[in-house]
Structures are given as structure tokens and as C-alpha cells.
Structure 1
Amino acid sequence: MDTSILKLINDALVQAKNEKYVLNDGNIEKSHYQPEPIIKKASELAMPAPKRYKEMLKIEPNNNTFSWQSDYINARFYLQAKFMESFEDDYAYYGEILRYLPQYTDMTFPELRGYFTWRTKVRKGIIEETNISFVFVYIYELINGIGADSPKDGFQKLLYIWNVYTKFNNKIDRYLKDWLKDYVIYYEMDPSRIKDIPIKRNHYLFVLSDIQNAVKKNDFSEFLKLINGFSNYKIHKSKFLKEFQNDYIDALAVVYTDLEKFYNNSRKTTLFEKMFGKESREAWVPFRSGIFYGDTQKNPRKCIVNDFERYECTNGEWLKYSYSEYNVDKRFIGEVLRTTEFFLREIYDYSYKITFKSTSKLLTNLIEKSIISFCEENNKKDLCPRMKENQRVKKKKKKEMAPIIKIEPVRIEIDPSKFDEIRKTAQDIQRKLIVESVMEKEKEILVEKTKVVNNEKEQGMEVFSKSLTIDEKEIIREILNNQSEKIDEIAKEKNKMVTVLLEAINEKALTFIEDNIIETNDEKPWIYDEYREELLEVL
């Protein structure tokens, strides 16, 4: 039947359904109800279904060896989908369907015809908004290899339906971001295709690979950038790092190399394992939470994503070998970064020191030895005072070498013939000034002084301290005195979170001294050492 005719029938029936009573002579009070047939949508009217649908629904797995009901359901879906792989339909369906784990056996004939009509259009490049259950059935077909010429073709079709249909409904996002990765692994595709997935799971494992490659290439600039995200000490906020970034990176390379040798020779774990944990093994099920028949390929195979993630299959059973982000030792990584900076500041005789946080004696000694070796080899001892002295000498030499500019005297020639003209002009000006002065007094004109507006923004530690409230000053004093308990009391009195109060102080600091003064990422907040003395003076 023509699509437009079915739509007209559907609209007419809906309108009739909304009329609840029949009027009598135009008088609503005399209206009465009368029996009416049950109204059905056009899509629910009895329509002849192609014979192939009935044949498809009769298909069942041949054996009863399934341990779980879900395995039987998955096998049935695969066989029925294979039977309907090339089928097409043309049917106008306007109904709605919402199923959890939708499959063919859950649908009526009109719903089946509606789905296969929609799928026919999708395969022709026409994707229309429809029931989300139809979309999931189509995705289930693709992950089972139905409707795809090759794994590469199936992967591209999954990406295509995701990119286009997510504009209508984004419920498929949470599933496809995992299933696309599973597709690459299960069908033994190039693991690099995982990077084509818009939302990647286990991004952490890719970062680990990047960190390892940075160490192999001796690129500790990239290493520091990547490792900072796993540290409880945020080195990128350090004032010392901003001034001596290259020195710090070179010193960190020496520290890492020495620590790596120590762990390889004296510990059962490597330095990398100390920071990020060891490889773990667990059972893995491809396309979890979807309808997938996994018994189509029994051959042993493996997929190596990178050095930190791999998959192996034996007799249809999969195992996953990977590193867990929960095993990262953020405290240890932070200790390495902070202790390295501490000894560099000490040996450089940097103006601002940082508080030494207790680390294991062994780790402290190893890092100190590495830093001393680095500084001696590169002549870094007392570097900061030497740099200041060099700057002072350069300024002095520059001043001494500055050329002396000889100023030639200006000759002034006087023409006596102009005296009378000058005298006459001066008398005229004097006369005008006297007249204007008298007129101003008679009219009593008040002249206001122009206000001078200073548009220059005031900055500095003193201005910052004046902007603080009484409570904010008290919070800073308590942090300086390591009394974090009293900060909790202030926050409780103000009915605010501690982090909110600390961020408010940092915002003012950014305004007046262009930097944060409080580190809020640790368990206890602390003041950056370069600002401690100035704060003690102004508070």
C-alpha cells in the first residue's frame, strides 16, 4: 500500500480516537456516549507479511549443548540474521518499539517489516531517525559480521552509523566506544585502528606506551609532561621549573637512569613497575552487554595492542593482559619529582626553598647522589648567585662602555631690529590678560580642577593582602602554621567547602601577584615556598 495513503489512514484514526462523545442537536448537556470499535493505528492493521519472515522465525539452533540461555539466544539471533542478510523490504511503519536487547523474535510482523525497511535505506546511505531498538539490532548484525564484506568494511559501517545517528540519539555512545575496540581485537584487525575510535577506553594504556617510548628515546621533556598527570606533586606549577626547565629535565634524566639501574640490580620489580604496577590477567568477553555469537571462530589467536595491553584466545576463551590505572603509585612519583627539585634548589642556592617532605631514606640518598653528580659535571654549584653576579658585571660594563655624547653649544643670534615689534606684541597681550581677569571676577566663574584618574592597575603582595577578608587572612596564617584543622572549623562556620575558600584566595592571588599561592591538590594545603616570607611580612 502507498506510504502517503497509510499515513492519512493513521492520522484519521488518531483524530477519531480523540473524539470522546457525539453531540445531539448541538447541546453538549444532552450528548450521550455510544459503542465504538477499538481504534487501531494503520501500522497495526492486518497486513500480509512476506513468507520469508515466517521462515526466519522458525529457525532455531540445531543442538542443545548451550550452558547458558544467553548463549542459545545469541546463536539463534546469528542464524536468523544470516538468513535475512540480503533481504530488503518497503513498508510504511509509524509505530514505536522499545526493547532491552532487541531481536527479531521480540517483534511483530509490522515491526519486523518496519526494521528491514529502515535497514534497506541505511544500506543505500539514507539514515533516518527511528526507534532506538532498530538501531541496536542493526549494530548487533554488524558485530556478528552480518552485512559486512570484511572486518574492515564492518568497522567502517559501525563508525558511520555512530557518527550519523548520534545526532538523533546518543544512547549508542556508551556501547559503541567499547564495541568498536572489541571489533578490532576479535576480528584481528590492525590495533592502530583503535585510535580511529572517537571515544577510546583505556586511554591510560596508550599513555603508558608513550611514557615508555619517551624513556627509550631519552626524551625526558615529553616524559615530564606525561608523568606529571600521575603525580600527587604538580611540578608544572613550580617557579623553579619555569626558570630552569632545561636543567631540571636533564637532572631528572640522570635521576631516572640511576633509579632504574638500582631497581634492576637490587629489587624484584623494575622502576616502571614500581610507578605503574605489574601486568594483570583476567577473563575477557567481547561485545559484552550486546547480542553476539562468539562461536563462529574457534582458532587460537592473539591481539597485541601495545606493550601494556594484549589479548589471547584459546578454544573460544579469551584472556586479557593489561595494566590497571588503580595500581599507579602517585605518591612515589611525586616524591621523585619533588625531591629532585629540592636538591637542585639547594645546590643552586636558589632564593626560594621548598619544604623537604619525608621520603624513604634510601630514595632520598639515591636522588641526592644523582643530583650532586649532575651538578658537579655541569658546574651548577651556587649557580644562582653566580648568575646574579654575572648580570651585575654585564650591567656595569655596559654602563662603562656606553659612548659619551658630546653636546655642541647652540649659537643664538639676536636681531636688534625686532625689539620694537616684540615690545608692542607684549603690551597687547598684557592688556588682554588684564581685561579677561576683571571679567572673570565680575561673573564669579568657578573653575574646577580636573581630576586625574590613575588607570594603572595596582599589584603586589601588599595590595593582595589588603584584598583579603579577615577569614582568608586567618586561613593563610593557619596553613603557614600547619594547622589545617582550624581551616575546617572556619569552613564549617561559613557553611562552605574548604576547597571553595582556598580557590577564592588563589583567584585573588592571580589578580594581584599573577600566580597561585596555595597548593590544593595534596591531602593538606600548603603555601608555595617562594611566597612564605612575603606573606609572613604583610600579614
Structure 2
Amino acid sequence: MPGIDDIIEQVLAAARGRLERGVETSRAYGDEPILMRGSQLASYQPEPIRQMRALARRPEARSWTDARLFVEQARLMSGYEDDFPSSEPLLSYFPTYAAMSNRQLRSYFTWRTHVRAGRVEKTSTSYAYVYLYELINGVGAEPGEEAFRAIEAFWQAYRKFDSGLDRYVRAWLVDYAVYHDLDPALALPYVAVEHDWAVAVLAEAERRALELAAPRSRRQGPGDLPVPEGEATRLFDALEELSTYRLAHARLYRERPEELRDVTYLVFGRLARYYRSNRTQGLTESLFGARREMPHLMFASAVFYPGERHPDATYDLAGTRRYACRGGLWTCDALHDGGARSSKLGQVLRAVDRQLRVALDYPHQLKERGDPKYLVSLVDRAIGDYLSWRRAHAPVRVEIDLSKLAGIRAGAAQTREALLVDEEREDEKDLAPAPATSGAASGPAPATAPGPSDPAAGVGLLPEERALLAALLDAKEAPAGTDLLVDSINERLFDLVGDTVLEFDDSGRPTIVEDYVDEVRSILG
């Protein structure tokens, strides 16, 4: 049986024979594939790939870093497309072209051709990282916002196949915006801004708590009560952002939100003072570290070659972090805690939830988890102080029985009558209206309207008001309890006189203002 080499030779010989005979035919011939053995096909290199391989063997390439070699090769292959029929997998921690075989290179460039055409398909994740490295280094998209959008779009499309890219691409997008001085709004979605802001709220709450002077004795009471509602709400929201234990999801919070919020505020402040006295670091710093400037490696864990030295620059991101480049070296002034929630803070908040349920005799209790004794004691004291303060400052409930008002009035009248002296009774008789005539017994007499000559006609003084004014004009002492009459007279005469007519002397008795005695006399006629 002939071997593969014999078969290939027979096919090629037949083709040469047809050409030598010069047989004319109307059939149109196109390019025909070169016949190779399987072992030869495995090592076959298209010309662009051969040139890329040769680039690594140049004398000047010996001094290049792996990152620079990758970028130089990427630029050479920036427009290359392939249609390799199979896909060779690749598994590499730092994948580059140099780490790929010929079949893997052709598999990658074929997959990249599809991606650039808008068809993002699942492949070896190492190929996805190589594609991202190209974009980061300005290959495949114009450096700047266009490349940023390309990185973002590819990541969003491919993460449904492998969400592990999130760990790196988020940071790379931020670095890309900083490195190319793009609009900070592009990077903000990928920065833990809410986390950093929440830590700042905790730091401010801790500072305020430390400013409060602790009471020197139990009689003075706690100095952190009453709880400021606005500050307590801001702190509660910040703790909700930072803690692994979510108080806002607790059953007690749905039914007793104010108590849980206020006790949490008290516990945080007292725990901050405890840390100042018993720890080398403050509470917030022990949980999330302190903001400080540290060296920053751009595009960490990526294959990146910067080329020329980056000019000195400063880049502020939402006030929570500040990047600076000096002499080509980058620093980042920010929190460096990774943006994760704190389980230690979660333990504190769960202790607050549990102990408050115990104090309120809440029907749904939480199980004991072996919290530190100092923490349980601190929480219990805060709860006790808070509940005592609420009881002491509870609003007084006043209920009025309207059905008893008539009896109260009658009793007041009897008391007043018992306190009157004989002279006051005589004065009341003088001020009382004249008794009705005998004709009035048969029926009320029609009221006589004041005539035009009556000066009080336009004022509308009532009989008892006229009687009081007349008594004061005659220098008689007015009886007690005429305050309402005085106010009424002043209101009626204000439009006519333009001032207060009656006032009270040092003994509390009403008198006519001396300047208006004649006017009052003329009004009464």
C-alpha cells in the first residue's frame, strides 16, 4: 500500500503532466492548497506569524523586556486575520504570543477576527486576557476614550463566560482613565466610592464621639444623649454600607427603627472611646486602615509596556483617592483596604441587635455567638442608658374631660364670690345695667339705635364698656377681672383715636391714658 508521500507525489505529478501537455480547456482554475502531511501542517506558519517569530530573534530584541516584545509583536500583528478551522486551548498565567504554539497563535487570531467582527465567543480565558493586553497597550483601538470603551465593551460581553475577569478589569479601567487623563466619570463606576465615603463618615463620627467629655459621675448622666437624629441616620447608612451584618434587613429594624438606630449610634461612639483608651489604633483605622499615599503600579497583573516616560501629573477621583506621577513613578493617596465589608464590624452590629432584643423583651430573639464580654457589657450599658433616658423624657399625656368644664366654671364662680369684699360688690352693682322697667316684663323693648348726635355711635361701644369708661372718668376704682373689657375697648377706640386709650397701673388696675381723657369724655357725651 503506497505511503502518504507517494500519494502526494502522484497528485503533484498528475498536475504537472496536465500543464506540460498544454491541454486547452474552458475550465477556470483558482488557487489550490499546498498538499502537506499532518506533521508538516502542525508546524505551518503563515507569513505574518513567521515575521512575528523572527522579530523575537533580532539582536536588539535581546535587551527587550517580555512586555516590550509583546507590544512590538502586537503592533506588527495589529491587522492580521486568520481562519484556522480548529481551536487549540491555551492555559497560561501571563499569556503572550511567545507562550503560544503555532496552532494556538492561529486559534487566537481566528478568534480575535470574530471578536472584531462583533462575535464574542467563548474560548480559553488566556486568549481573552491577551486581547485585553492588546487594547491596554493601544493595539486594536485608538488610545484614549476609544480604547477605554473597547476594553469596557469586551469585558461586559465576555464576563458572562468568565466573571473572573472582574477582579482585574475593574482596576485596569480605572488605571486607564488615570493614565490617559480621561474624564473621571468614566472611572467612577469601577471605584468603591460609596465604600470610601462611608469610611469617611465613620471617621467623622469617631472624631465627634471622642470630643464628647465622659461624665465624671453617674449622677451627671451620659454625655452622648440625646442622640442627634441627623448624625445617627448618616452613621447608620454608612454602617449599612460597610458591615457584613445588615441591620436594615433585621426584623427588629422594621418594627423599632428609631431605637435600633439610636442605640447603634451610642454603641459606636462608646466603642470609639474604648478603642482610644485600650487599643493602639482608633476604631475606624483598626477596621479599614488609614488613608495614606503608597506606590501604585499601573495595570498590575497585566502585560503593559508604557514606552516613553509619563509626564508628571495629578489626578483626583471623587475626593476619595488621588493619583500622582512624579518622574515616571505613580503613587495613590487613598484607603488601601480593598473595599470589602468588615466582618468585625458585623459582629458589633449583630451584638447590638441581639442585646436590644433582650432588653425590649422582643419575641424573636437571636442566638448567642460568643461575643467578647467587653463588647456585650458596653452594648448593655448603652442600651440601659438609652432606655432610661427615653423613659425620663417621655412626653406627658394630658387628657381633658370636656364634660366637667361646666362644673369647673361653677366652682370658679363660687370661689370668686367668696373672695369678693363688700366694696367690690358695691362697685359691681354700680356697673351693672339698670333693671328693666315694668313694661319690659310684658316683652322686650325694641332697641333704640343711637342717633347721629351720639359720639359713640360710630364706635359701637357696648353698655358694659361705656359703664367702665364712665367709672374711670369719675375716678372710681374699676372692679377686678376687667382685662377682657379693657382689650375690647382699646380695639374699638383704636381706629378713632389711633392709640391705646386704656392702660394698667402698677397695681394692675385699668386707667385712662391722661392724653386721651378729653377724647373719651367727648365720645361718651
When the two structures are superposed, what TM-score results if normalisation uses the length of structure 2?
0.47
Whichever of the two has the greater Rg, that structure is 2
Per the normalisation by structure 1, the TM-score is 0.46
